[in-house]
Structure 1
Amino acid sequence: MTSATEISDRIIEAVMAQKLAPGARLGEQQLAMLFDCSRTIVREALTRLAARGIVTVSSRRGWYLIEPSLDEAREAFEARRVIEMGLIRCTTSVSKPAIKLLKSHLAKEKAAIKGDDVGLRSFLLGDFHVCLAECLGNTLLADTLRDFTARTTLIAMLYQSSHDAAHSCAEHAEIVAALERGEWAKAEQIMQRHIGNVQDALKLQPPGGDPLAELRKALKPLKEGGGDGSMESVAQPLHTRSASKPSDDSSTYLRSLL
């Protein structure tokens, strides 16, 4: 029978591979059927993920993956800066086997970028940071980074990241090269730049911006936003639009776990 740990690990992997979207519903019964276990075990797995800040629960709606707010997104990246830069700063040596493992991971990243498996590419790019923590000898921070990486993956999906995968991989390679040369300060500097680039690629509203900008634009009187005032320049009336209601059925996502 599948354990709660295995279920939570598979959900984290699916998030990092962008197979589960922010706000996806995680039905207890569906998961129990997919993993051939009891709902009690599923509930234990989801409770652990809730404690780690990956899922949330509502008494009426059930379990869902988080949908981070703008403030939570910024806090997540700040936390990653503190953890990952601090991890490198405390490094005094990196063993040859560790460098070899990091280079092997980079090779997998490059191969995935050339291929068409977007899920594998996303997972490997995020897992690099977990692998780096493990190679630097801190398994506790590796576990922490796995959760933060999953969280920032959800953020990237929610806020439509435009960060280029090849560019991300190239920055990873720069970090490993600096570590191999023993240039700790350089590696830390590259890591800071890398996390900043990933964050900058998100469509986050800058602090102090108008939180009602999109709603204000949508509700602007037609005579002000129509240009020449003709009906052709006016948005299509709401009652004639075909709205696509998001499905609450997450079976498509959940099947990808298996």
Structure 2
Amino acid sequence: MNPAAANIEEAILSAILAGRIDPGTRLGEQKLADLFGVSRTRVREAMMRLETRGVVQVSARRGWYVVEPSAEEAREAFQTRRVIETGLLQAVREVPPQVLASLKEHVAIEREAIQTGDVSSRACLLGDFHIHLADALGNRLLTEIIRDLTARTTLISMLYQPTEKAEESSHDHEDIVAAMEAGDLALAARLMDEHIGKVEAGLDLTARPDPLAGLRELLSPSTFAGNAPSVPHAHSHPHAHSPSGKPED
């Protein structure tokens, strides 16, 4: 893959993982070409790669845009994560000391971000724990798969997660690492299954984003001086964000 296209792909995926790009965001080819100083061909190459990874789509009307997973796609994504991440732990026979040290350090950084109120860092760190776990255990293929799934579930959480559960998620991570340190990998796998299940259970899968939210805001009476026609609200839930606009995993 061309290095320029790879840089664009990585920049967009990293921004999604950090919760900086909303579901449905349009990714104009020309704007990205100007931003990265490359041709539209390179941008298109990056977009096609991201499409195969399940985080962007293209349509004749909208061009390239970040996916907006449906409720059914959300259920499938979390089911897949549970199978893969519990399976990863079940397949491990022994956890090297350096892996445990790395995971403990990651959890400690999570805790610090939560205690200091660093919402931006904690959201990114909580999602990254799962990627870091696979990477620390040395399975590159599973690391890539889990990274893509985590990006997708980040977008899902931005659409459907009504509450923040950073503290609970970090405690779950701590318990998983403690079970690994004790050599009880069966318990670690069960705790991982429960953790992902709790995150999924915290989603309101009846919520749907309001596709007219932007236009509705522009046409709201408060935007104009004098009288303006009222713009009715559709029965829908707003995107659920933490104070930084980032979901908690």
Per the normalisation by structure 1, the TM-score is: 0.78
What per-residue deviation string (whole Å, max 9, x for no partner) do you get for residues 183-223 of structure 1?
011101110110011001110149xxxx9xxxxxxxxxxxx
Structure 2: unaligned runs, 5 residues or longer: 209-228, 234-249
* Alpha-carbon shift at residue 87 of structure 1 (Å): 0.4
Percent of aligned pairs with the same residue? Answer: 50
Indicate if the aligned counterparts of 1:25 and 1:62 stay in contact, CA closer than 8 A: yes
Indicate if the aligned counterparts of 1:163 and 1:198 stay in contact, CA closer than 8 A: no
* Alpha-carbon shift at residue 116 of structure 1 (Å): 4.2
- Once residues 29 and 128 of structure 1 are traced to their aligned partners in structure 2, the CA distance between those partners, rounded to angstroms, is 34
Change (3 A) 1:115 1:45: farther
What pairs with 1:156-175 in structure 2 (closer than 5 Å)? Answer: 156-175=157-176
- Once residues 69 and 79 of structure 1 are traced to their aligned partners in structure 2, the CA distance between those partners, rounded to angstroms, is 15
Quote the residue 1:55 is aligned against. 56
- Once residues 79 and 37 of structure 2 are traced to their aligned partners in structure 1, the CA distance between those partners, rounded to angstroms, is 39
SS in 2 for 1:3: helix
- Once residues 108 and 11 of structure 1 are traced to their aligned partners in structure 2, the CA distance between those partners, rounded to angstroms, is 24
- Once residues 3 and 142 of structure 1 are traced to their aligned partners in structure 2, the CA distance between those partners, rounded to angstroms, is 23
Quote the residue 1:128 is aligned against. 129
Indicate if the aligned counterparts of 1:163 and 1:197 stay in contact, CA closer than 8 A: no
How many residue pairs align between the two structures? 213
- Once residues 141 and 92 of structure 1 are traced to their aligned partners in structure 2, the CA distance between those partners, rounded to angstroms, is 17
What per-residue deviation string (whole Å, max 9, x for no partner) do you get for residues 100-153 of structure 1?
111111122112223344332211111110110111221100100000000000
Quote the residue 1:39 is aligned against. 40
Quote the residue 1:75 is aligned against. 76
SS in 2 for 1:56: strand
Quote the residue 2:203 is aligned against. 202
SS in 1 for 2:161: coil
What per-residue deviation string (whole Å, max 9, x for no partner) do you get for residues 142-174 of structure 1?
100000000000000011342410110110011
Structure 1: unaligned runs, 5 residues or longer: 212-238, 244-258
**Structure 1 position 240 matched with structure 2 position 241:** no
Larger radius of gyration: 1
Indicate if the aligned counterparts of 1:16 and 1:122 stay in contact, CA closer than 8 A: no
Measured on the aligned residues, the alpha-carbon RMSD in Å equals 2.1
**Structure 1 position 15 matched with structure 2 position 16:** yes
Indicate if the aligned counterparts of 1:130 and 1:145 stay in contact, CA closer than 8 A: yes
Structure 1 residue ranges (4+ consecutive) displaced by more than 6 angstroms after TM superposition: none
**Structure 1 position 137 matched with structure 2 position 146:** no
| Amino acid corresponding to residue 230 of structure 2 in structure 1 | T
